[in-house]
Amino acid sequence: MNNREMLEQLLKESGAILNGHFKLTSGRHSNVYFEKFRVIENPKALSALCTEIAEHFKDQVDIVAGPTTGGIIIAFEVARQMGLNAVYVESVEGVKTLRRGASVPENARVLIVDDVLTTGLSIHETAQAISGAGGTIAGVGVLIDRAPNAIDFGAPYFASYKVEAESWAEDEIPDWLARIPITKPGTRA
């Protein structure tokens, strides 16, 4: 079994891959959803996915950053595996920011990590907060990449697991998907 097959098996066993009609946090609709909390609840799956990121960016970064909510645990685990510190970026009145006395050393090479990539909004917001705090974005790593097209983060990018998953705008939903009751998972209101 190759590494991709092992990761896919861990994702399926953890219950992270769901089928149905989902309204994603981006506002788009999909027939596939990745429930990141099933991965985060499964230390074996989370550790394996984080190992992929940690090994990819080994010796290239000084600190690891992740956005709330899921990104906190991912940042902690990747930083732990790399022997680095982690910082967490939170939303305050809709704006991502460092809180609770957290700081980034000036010009520190920061690896931003997150759970599931669809549009890249959370990563871009996190990058803005890190740059504003004086850090340099040295890389972006995600557990699962479900984005239909490559996204430019202005830094090296890596996904532990890439999956082909279509999504549609509200006015483009196929009839077969529209007949399935909508579930709205995710963390954004």
Mean pLDDT of 175-183: 92
166 belongs to a structural domain:
yes
pLDDT at 130: 93
- Within a domain: 188: no
In a domain, 68, yes or no: yes
| pLDDT, averaged across the chain | 88
Averaging pLDDT over each range in 41-45, 53-57, 114-118, 158-162, which range is the top one? 53-57
The verdict on residue 66 lying in a domain is yes
Q: Which CATH number do you get for residue 118?
A: 3.40.50.2020
Is there a domain that residue 49 lies in?
yes
Owning domain of residue 82: 3-183
pTM: 0.83
7 pLDDT higher than 90: no
Amino acid of residue 65: A
Tokens of 161: 């697991």
Confirm whether 189 is domain-assigned. no
pLDDT band at 174 (very low <50, low <70, confident <90, very high): very high
Would residue 16 count as lying in a domain?
Answer: yes
Tens of pLDDT, residue by residue over 106-144, are: 899 999 999 988 788 899 999 999 999 999 999 999 998
Mean pLDDT for 31-45 is 85
State the total domains in the chain.
Answer: 1
